[in-house]
Structure 1
Amino acid sequence: MIAKRSSAVQSKRITHGSQRGGVGPSGDQRAGGSQRSSSSTSPSLQVHLYFFPATKNATIIHITASHISAENVCIQAGKKCGILPVHQSLFALASSDLSCWYPPSHMFNTEENLQVHFRVRFSFENWFGQGPRTSYRFSLTRDTISPVLHYSVIDYLFTQLRSDFIASEAGVCPPLSAQEECLGLAVLDLWRMAKERHQSVRELCKTVSYKSCLPKLHRHDIQRRNRLDRFRIRNTLKRFLKKLGNCSIDESSLKLKYLIELAGIEPSLGSETFQVNSSPSHSTSAFCLVRVTGETGIEMEWKTFCDFKDIIDIKIKRVCHEQVPQDSRMVTITRKDDRGLSLKEALSFVSLVDGYFRLTTDSSHYFCQDIAPPSILNGIKNHCHGPITSKFAVNKLKKSGFKGSAFLLRQSPKDYDNFFHTVCVQTPLGPDYKDCLIIKNEHYTLPGVQKLFSSLRELTSYYQHNKLLLAEVPVKLGRYSPPRPKELTNLIIIRNNSSVEAQGSPMPERNKFSHIQFHMIKCEDLQWGECLGQGYFTRIFKAIKPTFVMERNT
């Protein structure tokens, strides 16, 4: 299938398994209702948030900036929801009908008066840490396991998936054969609501029906049953709730249990499925299904095509053919073995694979300029690391071997508007490492310093020529340590199917060369042939370098 690129980014014909969603009816929403963080009659971009910490309900925020990127919308939404910068890369924006995802580079015009959903898009099956096959964030010490998600993300993910479950959206539509398991989720949900409202379960059930915690299909099925069946179901749930009401458990544990049980009911939860035309000929149709999951990578007809770490290139090019929709795109993915997969899809698929690559392989990399997050482009321009922790920054400076005044620039892992220069400072007791805070408002500045800078690069360059005080020690920034390809930091998620390669480990034997010799070929020595095609920036020609044999007379 060839997807048409429109103002909604891609065709609605693309299907997403277990990652579409909406706001369904629930006991929480009927009691509290959705809140609008602001009311405005002027055109704006309306961003639906599934969980607003201040009210613990859904809300809508209005963004009136004339032009804003999807990534910056996610950042504003993340600030409202208490999502830390470390976890912001797990989120993305879905269209109002939940048929497609906007890449982080997409520019919104608020005059279009669109509505989008701020959702967790990137998921890892074993993030909750049950058993030996657990996904976790990379840590400097093996005995320390850093979880994939923070409690703020778990709160948001719970509300999002609960909404999908009740509204039977996003591919979360369990069959009637799983009704017993769904009733178990309803019990957990009612128990959680009672804890949050500081009520007994008995008091809660006077105002909230257990059916409001079930999917549409199951609610309608129970409603069609006779009175005796409904009475038995209701009494069974009451007995369970009465027994559980005496147990000591907090709300976070109940949410976690709910998510684990829901994953058992819907095994495809967290995956996205695309219907594509895999035929190399545009005039024929050979449809197949491509599924992308955080754990296994890209699958075709449920057979593994490649993992994210095996991808070396992704290209998007315009398809010009009379039998395809106008302004369509073809996506080509190349593996390490040069085998390609052509997907006549658009930017949603590429941004999905690109995002998973940054989460699992290289946090500062992008494949396509068309979908590259603005923060990644700015980071490359300013030699700035992502929101890595101070421990990783210090560890990198130590391993670099650079002496005093060596530094690196990084985004704060806790505040979207803060950055740090982590600097190696020479003291009488040896090298020490200090963080210098950089505050971003309309300009960049240091605390207590009146001088303003228009960019991080300008600020860094200034203090490479002028001294600053770090813990009363005057320091002039020396050699910087930029991000390196495939660095292992707290931004990288280690999955149960991947092995961790130690940084600085020796290269495999097949990549070692004992001797490399370069031959210079001058342009004037070539005999030019026909043109072979068009590259990105140049044309490609066939050429031959003649070999001359000189005879020596003796």
Structure 2
Amino acid sequence: MDNDNQREIKIVVKLFQTDSNAEDGGTVYQKHLVNSTTVTISQPADATLETVFQACAEKCQISPIYISLFGLKDSDTGLWVNFACTISSYIARKKNFDSLHLEFRVRYIFTNDCPGTTGQQHLAYRFSVENGRKHDVMNDTVLRYLFFQQRDDFREGKLKISENVLDEDSANLGIAVLDLLRLACELQKDLRTVVDHVSLKKMVSRSYADWLSTRHMLRKIMIKHRFQHYVGHFEERYRQCLDARSTALYFHIKYLKNLEILMGSQNVEEYAVVSKSQDPDECNKISIGPYCEIVKHSNSQMTGSKWCGFSDLADLKLTSKEVNGVDCWTVTLVHISGDVLSVVLASLAEAESLASCIDGYYHLLVDTHHYLCKQVCRPSLVEELSMSCHGPISSSFSTYILKKLSRSEVGDCLLRRSHEKFGEYFINAIDMISHTNREVTVRNYKLDRASGLLGETPTEDSRPNGLAGLLEEFQNHHGNNLPFNIKRLVYPAVGQPNALLIHRENIETRGAADSHTDMTIIPQGAYKFQKHLGGGRFTEVTLCSKRDQRSDEVVVKKVYESEDPGLQQSIESSFEDSMIKFRQLNNWMDVEGKNKNIYIVQLKGTIMSKHLVLEYVPHGSIVKYAQQNREFPGAEWIMSVIWQLAHACAYLESKNCAHGNIRGKNVLLKHTGDHPFIKLGDPGVRTCQRNLNNKIVVEPSLSAPWLAYEYCLVDFMPSTAIPSINGDKWSFATTVCEICHWSLSSSFCRPENAYGLKPNLKERYRDQEQPVVSLPDMLMAPELKTVRNLLMKCWSIWPENRPAFRHILRELGAVSSNFDYQNVELPQTAPEEILPDLDVYDDQNLMTVRSLGNGHFGYVDLCQYDRYRNGQNEPVAVKSLIRNANNQKYRNILYNEIQTMRQINHRYVVKLKGVTFPSVRIVMEYLACGPLGKYLRDNSGKMPLQSLFHQLYVFSSQISDGMQALQEHRLIHRDLALRNILLNRDGENSPLYVKISDFGLSRVVNEEESYYRGNLDDFPALWYAPECLCPSDISVPFQFESDVWSFGITIWEMFSFGEKKPRYPSLPSVKREDIGKLRELLSNGERLLQPEHCPPEVYDIMGLCWQFNPQARIGFNDLQQRFIALAGNA
């Protein structure tokens, strides 16, 4: 397999450039009329298509700064390839594959991005740090490449002349003349000379040339004369251009502009959508372009309607879906307001092409250091952003960024990719800061990925492979002093100016909020009071309803009256500022008409100046809801809440509106149930005044640990009290932990004042290796490592290094869609909190009488429980795990077993009675008749065999009945054995019957390697089915049929009268290292020998349980019927 991945694959790529230096083949004119060449690129099969893409860029001398304008197109399908796809997997998708033919093309083309056209306004440009100049979107190399690409498309008929152009002759002849001017300029020849040597048919589209060749001679002469007239008209202008030293690039631009006018094309990509219904308003096509942006089409509309601008996208997902029995692919777009558009496409290639188009425009127009969908993003960009790499940007841009830092220090540094050469990386670091004027001096260090060295200061002792290894070496450097501090690496920031971002005039300014929009004034008597809902430090909240319509309920928030005039003024000023921000947010409407965000509480208006009227969210804050509903709602529920909160924060970030008061009590629940729906409450009073050492200071009303480092007195005086988006990121991380702690959220951390942090919390703020608050158990799952890392970044003491909310939203969405919620650790809560319907047995009232036995994972004691301390003892069996009782994992294992046992209420299954507290143990019914194995050992020699066999037949049918009950509840026992079968009777003279016990434990452990790490002497491999006998590094889940195999071993033990342990002739004992041998002998057909007194028909049933193929084994229903029949005949 490795050899297959390393084999070289040849890919044929079409490049749009002419090789004028070629010596053989054709005249000099013909060489300049060739639009493209083909090259063969060889790459390993396991390489991504990005490697082909980069090789093409290097061959065409496209610099890294312009690479984002390009793409690779499949010549066979006409679709754009996914750079993240490996070459081998891409080839595997293609039917009847012969060879892979691709085209290296400019994919993203913007209007008026061509320089040198006098008097034209730049509608698209790049930012420059040099005196605010506007730079062109394309440089000369890219423009020349685009010229040949567009010329080839025009000639091949891929670009059609618009229907609005009435005179097709004039259009083609005009294009031909411009092409001749370009050719004459390139060859430095007279225009007439070029006209004499080049046929008109070589300058127009092939379809027009074919049409012309079929025309009457008279028509041909007319067109020729018309062409000569055009040439004469431009001849004098051509000489003027030469005198002005105009280059061929000038004519390239003229050609492109003329094509743009004639084609009426805005470089729009269109994708057909698979219909899901007969609804005429359903989307049937989606169009993507640099100016129309995302347009949705339907059968009911003559023209499409704009659904979203690129800057308003919050998330993009690519998933598979079955429609009408056919596998299709869905591209889901999430608007920053919360609206969702899902379009189904017929193939993965189409879905990837659409998703990569949207992601590419987002990268170019919105944020060059963010991607929407990892599945279609260039792997190199994903890698670079994971290491906080900027670029490709120039040294001047990196210096500009470092000088703009709010609190710069010597050693602050920035990692950037070279803007000139692929594979080159630099670290720019602050070398010196002037004490007089704070002037910053920045030095540039080149990183050598091949040697693992750093510019002037090599570390000869270590030569790590690759950029990530080199950065890790810097991070852990303990040798010579480095000229920078890698721990103070400056991350790319949202909205950071650079030459990569393309700005479009007259588009990006539309849809801005009107800061002077009047707020709705509600008459004072319009609402009547219903009840108090509570309040905070500065505000009171009441529920009111319309006088004429009680169902129309709102929340009215007002500021408390204070006896301190200064404090009152400060509070009212902050509240008014908050109202203004909230008013702008609620009145903002983009050009597509999508108003507000569904995850933010809506503002209804004001009653006078100090009363805010808001929508009513019925379930209140999530913290209050958790205290009232202590049972943990599940990891999927919590992750949905966190994603919605991140969505609301991303919306605020997109509007540059800081909240300043994000915490659990401000996260409100609109809907509960299986699908929660939250609203982020209004910020309220965000700052207030206080007297600190006889000095009035302004501080945030939010408390630590929700309050970010820069607002607190930790190592320095707080640098600000004004709410910021970076501060909201810190608050978000703490709020996530608060929500995940659920019923313990009210006590997981205590609020502290910004100027009065206790030493312990100060140390947590300083320590960048540890979380600011304790991480909840739910987030400790290995699959949630991404979430933990996000929270740690949000708690960075450097505000600029905290991740953007769009980044957080994307990562949360990716985690949620790929996460198995069944394996999440539950939060640490007391039994009465998580299981309110179970009896709680106080440890102080429990007295241990004796041990009832030990299992593989726990032990059971007989206890007397005196509930009311009146001497009325209740005998119970109390089960504990052989683990540290203070270990949270121990508590979770027991909790899962409790959840399993409580689902089953069956005569032949041990009954759960409750749990102990605070020790957290399982309390079960006490079965005085004891284990079945002991009963058999004590009575097998005292009873006639026929009577004993009849009893065993009955017991076997009862076990089968109990196991059916487990499977009906989708439960697998995983530890069915004679040791776990107990006996009971309803009265002194009643017949004995079985009880299955210890059935939940092995299921909740859930990792087969936990068994392998168990006690080797008691390792229960002999009861396991062959499919469960795997090496410790392979996790194979149990199946329902696995319990059938264990049942066969159990009845073997029963008909051995409990006197023998299972033993195979060729493998007398089994330890962990013998697992492979055991599975091999079972696959060869070896089975346990027939017990001495076992009836042949029973041994035949054992054989049916021991079929090697799980699907071939007998079911528990058939087993029950067979043993009932045997009992009836005994």
TM-score normalised by structure 1 residue count? 0.79
SS of the residue corresponding to residue 262 of structure 1 reads helix
Between 250-259 and 378-387, the greater mean CA deviation after superposition: 378-387
**Hey, what's the Cα distance between the residues in 2 that align with 1:515 and 1:482?**
25
Higher RCO structure (Cα 8 Å, ≥6 apart): 1
**Hey, what's the Cα distance between the residues in 2 that align with 1:291 and 1:399?**
39
**Hey, what's the Cα distance between the residues in 1 that align with 2:218 and 2:453?**
70
- Residue 101 of structure 1 deviates from its aligned partner by 0.6
Q: Is the 8 A contact 2:334 2:340 kept in 1?
A: yes
Aligned to 2:139: 150
* Counterpart code for 1:160: Q
The 5 A counterparts of 1:21-170 are 44-51=10-17, 55=21, 58-67=36-45, 68-97=47-76, 99-109=78-88, 113-128=99-114, 131-132=120-121, 134-140=123-129, 143-169=132-158
Between 64-73 and 150-159, the greater mean CA deviation after superposition: 64-73
**Hey, what's the Cα distance between the residues in 2 that align with 1:468 and 1:158?**
52
- Residue 381 of structure 1 deviates from its aligned partner by 2.3
Aligned to 2:469: 458
- Residue 82 of structure 1 deviates from its aligned partner by 1.1
Change (3 A) 1:71 1:53: farther
Q: Does 1:344 align with 2:344?
A: yes
Specify which of 309, 314, 317 is matched with residue 316 of structure 2: 314
SS of the residue corresponding to residue 168 of structure 1 reads coil
Q: Is the 8 A contact 1:172 1:269 kept in 2?
A: no
Change (3 A) 1:469 1:115: farther
Aligned to 1:518: 664
- Residue 276 of structure 1 deviates from its aligned partner by 1.4
Q: CA offsets, 1:349-383, max 9 Å, x none?
A: 00000000000111121222211211111112222
**Hey, what's the Cα distance between the residues in 2 that align with 1:186 and 1:495?**
31
* Counterpart code for 2:222: R
The 5 A counterparts of 1:485-504 are 485-496=494-505, 497-499=507-509
Between 513-522 and 122-131, the greater mean CA deviation after superposition: 513-522
Q: CA offsets, 1:387-421, max 9 Å, x none?
A: 01222211211222221011010000010121110
- Residue 437 of structure 1 deviates from its aligned partner by 1.4
Aligned to 1:3: none
SS of the residue corresponding to residue 265 of structure 2 reads coil
**Hey, what's the Cα distance between the residues in 1 that align with 2:250 and 2:268?**
24
Change (3 A) 1:362 1:43: closer
Structural RMSD (CA): 3.5
**Hey, what's the Cα distance between the residues in 2 that align with 1:237 and 1:79?**
40
Aligned to 1:31: none
Q: CA offsets, 1:126-161, max 9 Å, x none?
A: 323664461101233664111100100000000000
SS of the residue corresponding to residue 385 of structure 1 reads coil
**Hey, what's the Cα distance between the residues in 2 that align with 1:173 and 1:410?**
44
**Hey, what's the Cα distance between the residues in 1 that align with 2:37 and 2:463?**
36
Could you say which structure has the higher strand fraction?
1
Q: Is the 8 A contact 1:189 1:213 kept in 2?
A: yes
**Hey, what's the Cα distance between the residues in 2 that align with 1:382 and 1:516?**
28
Between 382-391 and 236-245, the greater mean CA deviation after superposition: 236-245
Aligned to 1:26: none
**Hey, what's the Cα distance between the residues in 1 that align with 2:481 and 2:180?**
56
Q: CA offsets, 1:79-113, max 9 Å, x none?
A: 11111100001111101235211022122139863
SS of the residue corresponding to residue 158 of structure 2 reads coil
Aligned to 1:214: 204
**Hey, what's the Cα distance between the residues in 1 that align with 2:511 and 2:176?**
43
Aligned to 1:370: 375
Aligned to 1:246: 239
* Counterpart code for 1:456: L
Q: Is the 8 A contact 1:468 1:475 kept in 2?
A: no
Q: CA offsets, 1:313-366, max 9 Å, x none?
A: 111111124443x3x211111111222111112110000000000001111212
Q: Is the 8 A contact 1:494 1:500 kept in 2?
A: no
Specify which of 339, 356, 364 is matched with residue 361 of structure 2: 356
Change (3 A) 1:246 1:516: closer
Between 297-306 and 286-295, the greater mean CA deviation after superposition: 286-295
**Hey, what's the Cα distance between the residues in 2 that align with 1:377 and 1:131?**
38
- Residue 54 of structure 1 deviates from its aligned partner by 6.6
SS of the residue corresponding to residue 333 of structure 2 reads strand
- Residue 500 of structure 1 deviates from its aligned partner by 10
- Residue 479 of structure 1 deviates from its aligned partner by 1.2
Structure 2 gaps of 5+ residues are 1-7, 22-31, 92-96, 298-303, 346-350, 513-576, 586-656, 666-737, 746-815, 825-832, 837-1130
- Residue 170 of structure 1 deviates from its aligned partner by 5.2
- Residue 263 of structure 1 deviates from its aligned partner by 0.4
The 5 A counterparts of 1:513-552 are 513=659, 515-518=661-664, 520=738, 522=741, 536-539=818-821
Aligned to 2:493: 484
Q: Is the 8 A contact 1:422 1:436 kept in 2?
A: yes
- Residue 297 of structure 1 deviates from its aligned partner by 1.1
The 5 A counterparts of 1:191-206 are 191-206=181-196
**Hey, what's the Cα distance between the residues in 2 that align with 1:475 and 1:512?**
32
**Hey, what's the Cα distance between the residues in 1 that align with 2:155 and 2:14?**
17
SS of the residue corresponding to residue 64 of structure 1 reads strand
**Hey, what's the Cα distance between the residues in 2 that align with 1:500 and 1:409?**
34
Between 148-157 and 514-523, the greater mean CA deviation after superposition: 514-523
Change (3 A) 1:468 1:236: farther
Q: Is the 8 A contact 1:136 1:494 kept in 2?
A: yes
- Residue 539 of structure 1 deviates from its aligned partner by 4.4
Q: CA offsets, 1:438-483, max 9 Å, x none?
A: 2344x5444574663312233234345368899xxx5565511012
SS of the residue corresponding to residue 206 of structure 1 reads helix
**Hey, what's the Cα distance between the residues in 2 that align with 1:355 and 1:460?**
28
**Hey, what's the Cα distance between the residues in 2 that align with 1:452 and 1:266?**
55
**Hey, what's the Cα distance between the residues in 1 that align with 2:134 and 2:279?**
52
Aligned to 1:36: none
Structure 1 gaps of 5+ residues are 1-41, 527-533, 549-554
- Residue 285 of structure 1 deviates from its aligned partner by 10
Could you say which structure has the higher helix fraction?
2
Specify which of 400, 404, 409 is matched with residue 410 of structure 2: 404
Length, aligned pairs only: 487
- Residue 306 of structure 1 deviates from its aligned partner by 0.7
TM-score normalised by structure 2 residue count? 0.40
**Hey, what's the Cα distance between the residues in 1 that align with 2:267 and 2:481?**
48
**Hey, what's the Cα distance between the residues in 2 that align with 1:187 and 1:227?**
22
Change (3 A) 1:53 1:485: farther
- Residue 223 of structure 1 deviates from its aligned partner by 2.1
- Residue 490 of structure 1 deviates from its aligned partner by 1.1
* Counterpart code for 1:351: S
Aligned to 2:870: none
Q: Is the 8 A contact 2:449 2:465 kept in 1?
A: no
Aligned to 1:277: 274
**Hey, what's the Cα distance between the residues in 2 that align with 1:500 and 1:422?**
36
**Hey, what's the Cα distance between the residues in 2 that align with 1:272 and 1:171?**
15
SS of the residue corresponding to residue 181 of structure 1 reads helix
Specify which of 426, 429, 439 is matched with residue 423 of structure 1: 429
Change (3 A) 1:105 1:363: same
Q: Percent identity?
A: 24
